[in-house]
A and B are shown apart, each in its own frame.
Chain A
């Protein structure tokens, strides 16, 4: 495409998306008017859910295609700015949209590891990967591995790693779609997944990368509006300053002051002592195991019989019955359950965590250890970000190498719009909680507290533990997700903004799901044994094969999501470790070291992967129980105290070393490979 054509295409896109943005704002205003006119909350939820999903499906239908270049890489004509928006939407999942501010609220400075890791990774993408992958100009990342290392084994290992990285991530997104639609409209979880999946499939099935790209741009616009509106409002309400970061800096000193006061407050101390005594009680039970399992059970049944005998109130009998039914079935189960209860109580007995103080630990962990874990997590997330195939794939859709570099810049800029706001939001909400919720009489609790705790007790629950009728901070149990979800209500905004936030979260989940689905199905259809079949097919048939696989992957992921996997957050985190220990080393070596050959690449990826998996299986209690059937309560031996979530910091160096050693021990690659690498290192023709 010539330069002038490119420019007019860009201008056309700009006008199109400007109209789209205006239209969306008009929709929000219309719903706001209807809310004033008395439209019910549930209908606002339905309106947002259906109109946004229909919008995405509409873009998908408009962009339907069966041409391979369009289907796999959107025709390679997405200008850098729009590719940046699409990448940002692709990148920001439910975890970024809802989880990030919550993590920052709960863990203060320590939570900033995610901000550092998830933004710093883009430096690595820009410097080491994006321009060269674009210069190569294939359709998928495993295809690059196959061409660079001349063989099926690196390509197939690449497909395996892509599936490993992307599938759990996809399941988490679909799970998130189900949760959001349930909260937004009250429909069932399964139906929510079904509607969300419909939106994703219409888009990616009909138009592949082309439809997904243009939908993601639209989704980015919605999610950024949805994130910024409540935060700006909250900032204005609290300080009169519309810029959230400035508002946060002016309330931060008050937050710190509140923390100091609350950590010494009489009533707070009283509540914390009650928690501590509960924790001690659990500890004494644990230390008396196995006898205590029997005695506690007997005591509970005696209590229940007595309550029934004296005709105690029904509520009391019911709660005793429930406790009896939930009583641990064995001594080992009791040890697990009671240890968890002890830790939970002990955590609630701790004074409020100083928000801006680095490396505060809630347990007895030393600050040095917290710091080491912080740095390891940052590094692991950075390498993982730079290795995730669904992000790398986005650099293949730009018109030129120069655009691929610029696209990373725009991606990071658009991501920062949200990521630089999250720390401010966490502080603004914390200020609101300390200032307005703590010290309030229980009879005057704001309505959002009861509304959200009715949706899910783990989001927020308040219990008058010392029965003084006043809320103490130690009586408030907050789940991270509520920070974003309830921000509009905390700021006193109309319900329509809550619907907007939910629509934004849905956009974040759907856009990421779209990208992952495409990565998975393209890798499977383009780079596995099916390649033998599909290479004899015409382009159109190959696309049909991809589409069939897309449906299979989507339904498998939806099925997995309805089974509610055990620890979905850990699995998503694991995807970063896998990417860090496989794709990042092999791609960097493939581009920057000509001598790397297929044996080195294959063994390096496998070694990195196995090191990571080995460490996770050894150190993640439930995984260890599942794989090695070691009981949960057996103590864990960490390497240098690094938590399993950052396992990639061990896998990545192993992968690099194995790759170098094995490559040097085996024959050098042929002249063709040298030429390919030299070709990658030259600028492209304009």
Chain B
């Protein structure tokens, strides 16, 4: 019961959202900046016949961006659904 007011301040739905955003943003940052920063030393590495940094910047990173956006849309759709049910039951409880 003590946790109630706290949870009301930042609803679980929003906390989950922020958490998800942080994780995806971290992936975004790593994919964007790490291979580019170390591009010169990674250049000898080959992937599918391409030098690794070139492949990441041209094909790998944009594909990961697409996956990030897709994962966020999919996951939030589920969260939205759950939150809607939660709200429904809340309003039913209020009526009682």
Binding site for B on A (CB under 8 A): 109, 112-113, 115-116, 119-120, 122-123, 126-128, 131, 245, 249-250, 252-253, 356-359, 367, 371, 374-375, 378, 382, 401-402, 405-406, 408-409, 412-413, 416, 419-420, 423, 681-686
Which residues in A have their C-beta under 8 angstroms from that of B36? 116, 358, 371, 374-375, 378
Determine how close the nearest CB of chain A comes to the CB of B4; give it in whole angstroms.
17
- For window 45-76 of B, CB contacts with A under 8 Å fall at 48-51, 53-54, 57-59, 61-63, 65-66, 68-70, 72-73, 76
CA distance A113 to B24 in the complex (A): 21
Which residues in B have their C-beta under 8 angstroms from that of A252? 49-50
Determine how close the nearest CB of chain A comes to the CB of B50; give it in whole angstroms.
6
CA distance A46 to B61 in the complex (A): 40
Which residues in A have their C-beta under 8 angstroms from that of B25? 123, 127
Instruction: List the A residue with the shortest CB-CB distance to B20.
Output: A127
Contact A123 B80, CB 8 Å, known A116-B62, A359-B39, A413-B66? no
Complex A-B: 21 CB contacts under 8 Å: A109-B54, A109-B57, A115-B62, A119-B65, A119-B66, A120-B32, A123-B69, A126-B72, A127-B25, A358-B39, A358-B40, A371-B39, A371-B40, A375-B33, A375-B36, A378-B36, A382-B32, A402-B73, A420-B63, A683-B80, A685-B84
CA distance A128 to B11 in the complex (A): 18
Task: Please tell me if the beta carbons of B77 and A112 are within 8 angstroms of each other in the complex.
Answer: no
Task: Please tell me if the beta carbons of B49 and A123 are within 8 angstroms of each other in the complex.
Answer: no
Which residues in A have their C-beta under 8 angstroms from that of B24? 123, 127
Instruction: List the A residue with the shortest CB-CB distance to B32.
Output: A120
**When A and B form their complex, which 6 residue pairs have the shortest distance between CB atoms, in order from nearest?**
A358-B39, A683-B80, A405-B73, A112-B57, A423-B58, A119-B62
CA distance A119 to B64 in the complex (A): 10
CA distance A405 to B74 in the complex (A): 9
Task: Please tell me if the beta carbons of A371 and B73 are within 8 angstroms of each other in the complex.
Answer: no
Task: Please tell me if the beta carbons of B69 and A409 are within 8 angstroms of each other in the complex.
Answer: yes
Determine how close the nearest CB of chain A comes to the CB of B78; give it in whole angstroms.
10
Which residues in B have their C-beta under 8 angstroms from that of A245? 59
Task: Please tell me if the beta carbons of A112 and B83 are within 8 angstroms of each other in the complex.
Answer: no
Task: Please tell me if the beta carbons of B80 and A116 are within 8 angstroms of each other in the complex.
Answer: no
Task: Please tell me if the beta carbons of A115 and B69 are within 8 angstroms of each other in the complex.
Answer: no
Task: Please tell me if the beta carbons of B65 and A123 are within 8 angstroms of each other in the complex.
Answer: yes
CA distance A165 to B95 in the complex (A): 50
Which residues in A have their C-beta under 8 angstroms from that of B66? 119, 409, 412-413, 416
Question: Which of A245, A358, A413 counts the most B-chain CB atoms under 10 A from its CB?
Answer: A358
Task: Please tell me if the beta carbons of A402 and B77 are within 8 angstroms of each other in the complex.
Answer: yes
Contact A681 B57, CB 8 Å, known A116-B32, A358-B43, A416-B66? no
Instruction: List the B residue with the shortest CB-CB distance to A681.
Output: B14
Instruction: List the A residue with the shortest CB-CB distance to B75.
Output: A405
Which residues in A have their C-beta under 8 angstroms from that of B76? 131, 402, 405
Task: Please tell me if the beta carbons of A375 and B37 are within 8 angstroms of each other in the complex.
Answer: yes
Determine how close the nearest CB of chain A comes to the CB of B74; give it in whole angstroms.
9
Task: Please tell me if the beta carbons of A409 and B73 are within 8 angstroms of each other in the complex.
Answer: yes
CA distance A357 to B11 in the complex (A): 49
Determine how close the nearest CB of chain B comes to the CB of A378; give it in whole angstroms.
6
Determine how close the nearest CB of chain B comes to the CB of A520; give it in whole angstroms.
27
Instruction: List the A residue with the shortest CB-CB distance to B53.
Output: A358
Determine how close the nearest CB of chain B comes to the CB of A600; give it in whole angstroms.
21
Which residues in A have their C-beta under 8 angstroms from that of B62? 115-116, 119-120, 412, 416, 419-420
Which residues in B have their C-beta under 8 angstroms from that of A420? 58-59, 62-63
Name the prevailing secondary structure of the B interface residues: helix
Contact A423 B80, CB 8 Å, known A358-B40, A408-B73, A412-B66? no
Contact A115 B40, CB 8 Å, known A126-B72, A405-B76, A416-B63? no
Which residues in A have their C-beta under 8 angstroms from that of B79? 683
Determine how close the nearest CB of chain A comes to the CB of B51; give it in whole angstroms.
5
CA distance A590 to B76 in the complex (A): 21
CA distance A621 to B75 in the complex (A): 48
Task: Please tell me if the beta carbons of B57 and A115 are within 8 angstroms of each other in the complex.
Answer: yes
Which residues in B have their C-beta under 8 angstroms from that of A405? 69, 72-73, 76-77
Task: Please tell me if the beta carbons of A356 and B54 are within 8 angstroms of each other in the complex.
Answer: yes
Task: Please tell me if the beta carbons of B21 and A127 are within 8 angstroms of each other in the complex.
Answer: yes
CA distance A420 to B66 in the complex (A): 12
Determine how close the nearest CB of chain B comes to the CB of A205; give it in whole angstroms.
33
CA distance A423 to B58 in the complex (A): 7
Task: Please tell me if the beta carbons of A120 and B69 are within 8 angstroms of each other in the complex.
Answer: no
Task: Please tell me if the beta carbons of A367 and B40 are within 8 angstroms of each other in the complex.
Answer: yes
- Other 12 A-B pairs with CB < 8 A, given A112-B57, A119-B66, A409-B73: A109-B39, A123-B25, A123-B68, A249-B49, A356-B51, A359-B39, A371-B39, A375-B36, A419-B62, A420-B58, A683-B84, A685-B84
Contact A683 B40, CB 8 Å, known A109-B53, A123-B69, A250-B49? no
Contact A402 B80, CB 8 Å, known A122-B65, A358-B54? yes
Task: Please tell me if the beta carbons of A401 and B72 are within 8 angstroms of each other in the complex.
Answer: no
Task: Please tell me if the beta carbons of B70 and A409 are within 8 angstroms of each other in the complex.
Answer: yes
Task: Please tell me if the beta carbons of A408 and B77 are within 8 angstroms of each other in the complex.
Answer: no
Task: Please tell me if the beta carbons of A412 and B83 are within 8 angstroms of each other in the complex.
Answer: no
CA distance A384 to B49 in the complex (A): 33
Contact A126 B54, CB 8 Å, known A359-B40, A378-B36, A401-B80? no
Which residues in A have their C-beta under 8 angstroms from that of B14? 681
Determine how close the nearest CB of chain B comes to the CB of A419; give it in whole angstroms.
6
- For window 1-23 of B, CB contacts with A under 8 Å fall at 11, 13-14, 17, 21
Instruction: List the B residue with the shortest CB-CB distance to A400.
Output: B80
Contact A122 B69, CB 8 Å, known A116-B61, A405-B76? yes
Instruction: List the A residue with the shortest CB-CB distance to B61.
Output: A116
Instruction: List the B residue with the shortest CB-CB distance to A131.
Output: B76
Determine how close the nearest CB of chain B comes to the CB of A420; give it in whole angstroms.
6
Instruction: List the B residue with the shortest CB-CB distance to A253.
Output: B49
Contact A120 B84, CB 8 Å, known A375-B33, A406-B73? no
Question: Which of B77, B79, B80 counts the most A-chain CB atoms under 10 A from its CB?
Answer: B80
Determine how close the nearest CB of chain A comes to the CB of B9; give it in whole angstroms.
10
Determine how close the nearest CB of chain B comes to the CB of A118; give it in whole angstroms.
9
Contact A126 B40, CB 8 Å, known A116-B32, A683-B83? no
CA distance A252 to B47 in the complex (A): 13
Which residues in B have their C-beta under 8 angstroms from that of A128? 21
Question: B65 is contacted by which of A359, A375, A412 (Cβ under 8 Å)?
Answer: A412
Determine how close the nearest CB of chain B comes to the CB of A560; give it in whole angstroms.
33
CA distance A231 to B50 in the complex (A): 19
Task: Please tell me if the beta carbons of B70 and A120 are within 8 angstroms of each other in the complex.
Answer: no
CA distance A683 to B79 in the complex (A): 9
Instruction: List the A residue with the shortest CB-CB distance to B86.
Output: A683
